[in-house]
């Protein structure tokens, strides 16, 4: 199970809403299985895809995973998602339309669903 702060979850929901109908992509910062913030990286937004340049991702030990949005009601990973999950990070979130907390699904690097719990603040 992973934890996510209210602030980080709200940033994800807002960014996904603002980017709709395109996909939104960001890295996740945090540690000890707690997601604390978004780490925005140079990314390409598209209608049905989002990519990022792995060479432009800063080396940051506090980056623990990724998040991206799906402008549909499905938050299960695509083949391309599963491929990128295995490359970087340990926790990967997908938020689907209409972008509320209930629409966020969490996966490990193998694409297996993981529980995500909302917390007020990180210690
Ligand atoms: Zn996807």
Q: Which two tokens stand for residue 49?
A: 């895809």
Could you tell me which residues are beta bridge partners of residue 27? 39, 66
Distance (angstroms) between ligand 1 centre and the Cα of 102 equals 17
Distance (angstroms) between ligand 1 centre and the Cα of 123 equals 31
Average pLDDT, integer, range 94-118: 97
Domain boundaries, the chain: 2-39+60-119
What confidence score (pLDDT) does residue 88 get?
Answer: 85
Adjacency order of strands within the sheet including 116-119: 113-114, 104-108, 91-96, 63-70, 25-31, 34-39, 2-5, 116-119
For residue 107, cis peptide bond before it (omega within 30 degrees of 0) = no
Distance (angstroms) between ligand 1 centre and the Cα of 24 equals 10
What confidence score (pLDDT) does residue 57 get?
Answer: 64
Averaged pLDDT of the chain: 88
Q: What are phi and psi of 94, to 5 degrees?
A: -125, 125
Distance (angstroms) between ligand 1 centre and the Cα of 94 equals 7
Distance (angstroms) between ligand 1 centre and the Cα of 8 equals 19
Distance (angstroms) between ligand 1 centre and the Cα of 48 equals 8
Out of 1.10.3720.10, 3.40.140.10, 3.40.50.980, 3.40.50.720, select the CATH number for domain 2-39+60-119. Answer: 3.40.140.10
Distance (angstroms) between ligand 1 centre and the Cα of 84 equals 10
- pTM of the entire predicted model: 0.88
Instruction: Give the pLDDT confidence of 30-56 residue by residue, as tens digits.
Output: 999 999 999 877 665 555 555 566 666
């Amino acid at each position: 199970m992973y934890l996510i702060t209210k602030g980080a979850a709200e940033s994800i929901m807002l960014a996904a809403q603002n980017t709709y109908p395109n996909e939104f992509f960001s890295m996740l910062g945090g540690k000890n299985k707690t997601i604390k913030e978004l780490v925005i990286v140079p990314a390409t937004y598209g209608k049905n895809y989002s990519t990022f340049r792995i060479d432009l991702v800063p080396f940051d030990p506090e980056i623990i995973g990724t998040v991206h949005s799906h402008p549909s009601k499905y938050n299960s990973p695509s083949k391309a998602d599963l491929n990128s999950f295995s490359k970087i990070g340990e926790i990967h979130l997908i938020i689907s339309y209409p972008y509320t907390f209930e629409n966020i699904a969490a996966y490990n690097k193998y694409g297996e669903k993981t529980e995500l719990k909302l917390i007020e603040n990180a210690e």
